[in-house]
C-alpha cells in the first residue's frame, strides 16, 4: 500500500460507481483497449459490416466490458459492434440482451463438449469472431475462445480460475491468431480510467450493485461464491 495509489474521485462519479473502478473497471478497460489495438487493419479496410466480439463471463467484469466495448472499440476503430454474451446463466444473458448491452446470447451447457458448442455458435452467427474476451479463463472457456476466433482474431484471457489450456500451435501461426493476457492495469492506466469515466459518465451505468454493511463482509464473500450477486458487492463503511 502506498499513498500514490490514492486518487481523488471526480465529483460527477458516484461513490458506488467509484468503488468498482480500481479493479473491475480497470481490468475491463485494459481488455477492451487490448482488443482495439489488436484488430488487423485488413479487417477495418475491408467491406466488414460489423466487428464480432464474444464476451465469456458476464458477471461484474463482463458487464463492465459490455458497457466499455462500444465506447472504446467502436469509437477507436469507427466500426459497428455485434457483441455475443457467453455464460452459463441463461437468465442473466437474456436480461443483458433486453437492456441492449448484447446483441446475441449463448448459454454454455457444461455437460456438452466445447468443440460442439463452438461449432454451433459459429454456425449460428455465420462466421468466427474477430475478438473474444474471456473473463473466466478456465481450461474449457480458454478452449472455447481459441475455437471461436478466426483468421487474425484476438483472444484476451482475463480470469484467474486456473488450469491449463491446449493449443494447436501451427494454427496459431497459420491463422495469425493473437493471445493477449490481461491482469488489471497500471497506475497510469487507472488515471486514464478516471478521466475516461468522468468524460463518459452520462453513458455509463456500471454493473448492478449489492450493498453490504462492513460487518457483513463474510456474508458478502459467501454470496459471491454462491453466485448470489449479479454484479458487484460493495461494502458500505458509512452512509454517503
Q: What is the pLDDT along the chain (240 residues), one digit of tens a residue?
A: 788 889 999 999 999 999 999 989 999 999 999 999 988 766 666 666 689 999 999 988 999 999 999 999 988 888 889 999 999 999 999 999 999 999 999 999 999 999 999 999 999 888 899 999 999 999 999 999 999 999 889 999 997 877 888 888 888 888 889 999 998 999 999 999 999 999 999 999 988 899 999 999 999 999 998 988 878 899 988 775
Write down the residue that cell numbers 475478438 correspond to. Answer: 131
Closest residue by Cα to residue 231 from 211, 208, 215: 208
The pTM score is 0.91
Closest residue by Cα to residue 131 from 89, 73, 189: 73
Q: Please, which residues have CB within 8 angstroms of residue 137's CB and are 6 or more apart in sequence? A: 157, 158, 159, 160, 161
Count CB-CB contacts under 10 A for residue 20.
23
Cα–Cα dist 237/229, whole Å: 19
Per DSSP, 60 falls in state H
Amino acid at each position: 500500500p502506498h499513498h500514490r495509489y490514492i486518487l481523488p474521485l471526480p465529483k460527477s462519479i458516484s461513490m458506488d460507481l467509484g468503488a468498482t473502478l480500481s479493479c473491475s473497471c480497470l481490468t475491463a478497460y485494459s481488455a477492451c483497449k487490448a482488443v482495439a489495438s489488436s484488430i488487423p487493419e485488413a479487417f477495418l479496410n475491408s467491406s466488414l459490416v460489423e466487428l464480432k466480439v464474444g464476451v465469456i463471463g458476464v458477471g461484474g467484469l463482463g458487464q463492465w466490458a459490455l458497457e466499455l466495448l462500444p465506447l472504446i472499440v467502436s469509437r477507436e476503430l469507427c466500426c459497428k459492434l455485434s457483441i455475443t454474451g457467453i455464460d452459463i446463466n441463461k437468465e442473466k444473458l437474456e436480461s443483458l440482451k433486453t437492456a441492449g448491452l448484447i446483441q446475441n446470447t449463448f448459454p454454455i451447457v457444461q455437460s456438452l463438449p466445447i468443440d460442439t458448442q463452438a461449432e454451433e455458435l459459429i454456425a449460428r452467427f455465420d462466421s468466427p469472431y474477430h475478438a473474444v474476451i474471456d473473463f473466466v479463463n478456465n481450461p474449457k472457456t480458454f478452449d472455447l475462445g481459441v475455437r471461436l476466433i478466426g483468421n487474425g482474431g484476438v483472444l484476451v484471457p482475463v480470469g484467474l480460475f486456473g488450469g491449463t489450456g491446449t493449443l494447436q500451435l501451427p494454427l496459431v501461426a497459420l491463422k495469425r491468431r493473437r493471445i493477449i493476457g490481461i491482469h488489471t492495469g497500471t497506475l497510469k492506466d487507472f488515471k486514464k480510467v478516471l478521466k475516461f469515466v468522468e468524460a463518459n459518465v452520462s453513458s455509463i451505468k456500471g454493473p448492478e450493485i449489492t450493498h453490504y454493511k462492513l460487518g457483513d463482509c463474510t456474508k458478502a464473500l459467501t454470496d459471491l461464491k454462491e453466485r448470489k450477486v449479479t454484479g458487484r458487492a460493495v461494502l458500505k463503511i458509512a452512509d454517503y
